[in-house]
């Protein structure tokens, strides 16, 4: 499953790893599609009893506030509702928005691990 935008890519490998890369500042309607995509991925994970989702954001250079909301609410907080699912987020110390925003996700999901490199 993947979404190819004009300046970004979202790719789930079907086995527990999702990579989001590029620059994401999409129009509101486009975020609705991404919302649905995250719902579908979490449904698939739940059905296949996958115990860990790795979310690789290391090459997501830019993300606007609507994008932060979409990832936080429709992926991170929604993953918290999938029983027994552990979420690992891979981040980059070199990307400012990640350093500023991602640590705040920590209180919004119990089974969450954030790794900066």
Partner 1 sequence: MVGEKNIIIGEFIEPTKNNQFDISSTLRLRARSIDSKKFWASKDRSAEFMGDIWALFVDSEKEERIKTTLHSVCVEMIENSVKYGDQNNDYIIVLDLYLTNDELLVYVVNKSDVSGLTELENSARQILDSTDIRGLFKQKMKEAKAAKVEGKSKSQLGFVRIMMQNVKLAWKIEIESEAAFVTTLAKISLKTK
- Give residues in contact with partner 1 (CB under 8 A): 6-7, 23, 25-28, 35, 62, 64-66, 68-69, 72-74, 77, 96-97, 100-101, 104, 107-108
Considering the complex, state which of residue 9 and residue 17 has its C-beta at the smaller distance from partner 1: 9
Considering the complex, state which of residue 40 and residue 51 has its C-beta at the smaller distance from partner 1: 40
Minimal distance, residue 63 CB to partner 1, in Å:
9
Minimal distance, residue 28 CB to partner 1, in Å:
8
**24 SS3 class:** strand
Minimal distance, residue 70 CB to partner 1, in Å:
9
The beta strands (E) that lie in the chain are given as 2-4, 8-12, 17-24, 52-56, 60-63, 86-91, 112-116
Spatial distance between the Cα atoms of 95 and 77, rounded to a whole number of angstroms: 22
Minimal distance, residue 15 CB to partner 1, in Å:
27
Phi, psi of 112 (to 5 degrees): -125, 140
Tokens found for residue 81 = 């509702």
Considering the complex, state which of residue 41 and residue 74 has its C-beta at the smaller distance from partner 1: 74
């Amino acid at each position: 499953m993947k979404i190819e935008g004009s300046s970004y890519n979202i790719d789930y490998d079907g086995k527990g790893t999702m990579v989001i890369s590029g620059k994401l500042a999409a129009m509101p309607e486009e975020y609705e599609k991404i919302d649905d995509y995250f719902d579908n991925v979490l449904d698939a994970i739940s059905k296949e009893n996958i115990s860990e989702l790795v979310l690789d954001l290391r090459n997501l250079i830019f993300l606007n506030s609507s994008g932060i909301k979409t990832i936080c609410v429709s992926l991170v907080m929604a993953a918290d509702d999938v029983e027994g699912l552990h979420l690992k987020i891979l981040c980059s110390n070199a990307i400012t928005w990640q350093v500023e925003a991602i640590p705040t996700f920590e209180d919004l999901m119990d089974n969450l691990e954030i790794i900066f490199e």
